[in-house]
A = this chain, B = another copy of it.
């Protein structure tokens, strides 16, 4: 019992729930045999699916509810009337210590509102952020915030840097990740007050962060840093711009390869290579956006993720649990505050 990792799953969230949730859990169990699932959802719907997956059934406790949050529900409405929903009960399990993490492919806004309300932000963190990783020229990097906070000040960005640093240590296994602040140029004077203020603090001798400095949009896919820090407006636009550009590129490539007999023949021979490229850029590999800064681990899977994608989101939750991300964030906040208190002296530290 003591060695197992319990993950709460919102069985009813996502476009093809609960089928994909169970298929994903089955795949994740192959990779992490020590995981036990709290499967929250409609027992009448999940039991027949579990019956077909005996290994998963053995590793699963079903928590029944016939309520769920719909994809178009407003966060405030979901918070008010979704107290018995599968999403909410999965988060409650984390708050009550019955699960180490919750994973849902449901409504992002509702999930964030419930997670904030139930788990509360960690001491020293003003606002939670959404983080995810993505492919780069040099491997993989992490970006945050991806849309939880449309407006951010310098202090928010510094906290995001700390959370992103801990996330990269935990999930990418880096010992001293580099952190960059997204800006419109690399010179000190570029940008707005928030990024300049955050850079000042992160550059300070007391910062526990390996701060690279300002980076620009092309540095994201370039892999210049391991952690890209930005406000939720810019981060959301950048992430979706990269997705859109990838799609355009695939589309133009496909059209070009189909444009002549010779190129179609070439494409047949090179199909394996094109397939490998698609796999490397496959959004399913990067599924699993993480809510950071709460007293508990919550992972959001894309609503249209397939079983492989959902399994990857579970994998991110397990990695974060096993590597103790919450303690890592707490430790870094303590180091940052202690170092800054020392740097500024006792009179301001007492403020």
Report A236-269 residues with CB < 8 Å from chain B CB: 236-249, 251-253, 255-257, 259-260, 262-263, 265-269
Q: Return A195 CB to nearest CB of chain B, in Å.
A: 9
Contact B266 A252 (CB under 8 A): no
The answer to whether the Cβ of A32 comes within 8 Å of any Cβ in the partner chain is no
Give the number of times this chain occurs in the complex, counting copies.
2
Contact (A241, B220) CB under 8 Å given A150-B192, A281-B249? yes
Stretch at the interface among A52-60, A272-280, A319-327: A272-280
Contact of A217 among B182, B241, B265, B270 (CB under 8 A): B241
Q: Return A332 CB to nearest CB of chain B, in Å.
A: 26
- Nearest B residue (CB) for A262: B269
**Cα(A217)–Cα(B239), bound, Å:** 7
Contact pattern, A 117-135, Cβ under 8 Å of B = 1, otherwise 0: 0000000000000000001
Contact A221 B245 (CB under 8 A): yes
Contact B219 A244 (CB under 8 A): yes
Contact B234 A256 (CB under 8 A): no
Contact of A266 among B192, B241, B271 (CB under 8 A): B271
Contact (A256, B277) CB under 8 Å given A218-B243, A241-B220, A247-B218? yes
Contact of A238 among B241, B265, B276, B277 (CB under 8 A): B241
Contact (A184, B147) CB under 8 Å given A191-B233, A217-B241, A245-B241? yes
The answer to whether the Cβ of A216 comes within 8 Å of any Cβ in the partner chain is yes
Contact A270 B242 (CB under 8 A): no
Contact A217 B238 (CB under 8 A): yes
Contact of A269 among B135, B150, B248, B265 (CB under 8 A): B265
Contact A243 B217 (CB under 8 A): yes
Which B residues touch A213, using CB under 8 A? none
The answer to whether the Cβ of A71 comes within 8 Å of any Cβ in the partner chain is no
Contact A241 B270 (CB under 8 A): no
Contact A150 B191 (CB under 8 A): yes
Report A194-221 residues with CB < 8 Å from chain B CB: 216-221
**Cα(A266)–Cα(B267), bound, Å:** 6
- Nearest B residue (CB) for A193: B151
**Cα(A177)–Cα(B130), bound, Å:** 35
Which B residues touch A270, using CB under 8 A? 257, 262-263, 265-267, 270
The answer to whether the Cβ of A232 comes within 8 Å of any Cβ in the partner chain is yes
The contact sample of 23 A-B pairs, CB cut-off 8 A, is: A135-B248, A150-B192, A151-B192, A184-B237, A216-B240, A217-B238, A217-B239, A217-B240, A217-B241, A222-B244, A230-B237, A234-B234, A238-B241, A241-B241, A245-B249, A246-B249, A249-B249, A252-B280, A255-B277, A257-B273, A263-B273, A265-B266, A267-B273
A220-B244, A255-B277 known; 16 new pairs, CB 8 Å cut-off, are A137-B248, A137-B251, A150-B190, A184-B233, A216-B237, A216-B240, A220-B241, A220-B245, A221-B248, A234-B237, A245-B246, A252-B277, A257-B270, A260-B272, A263-B272, A266-B271
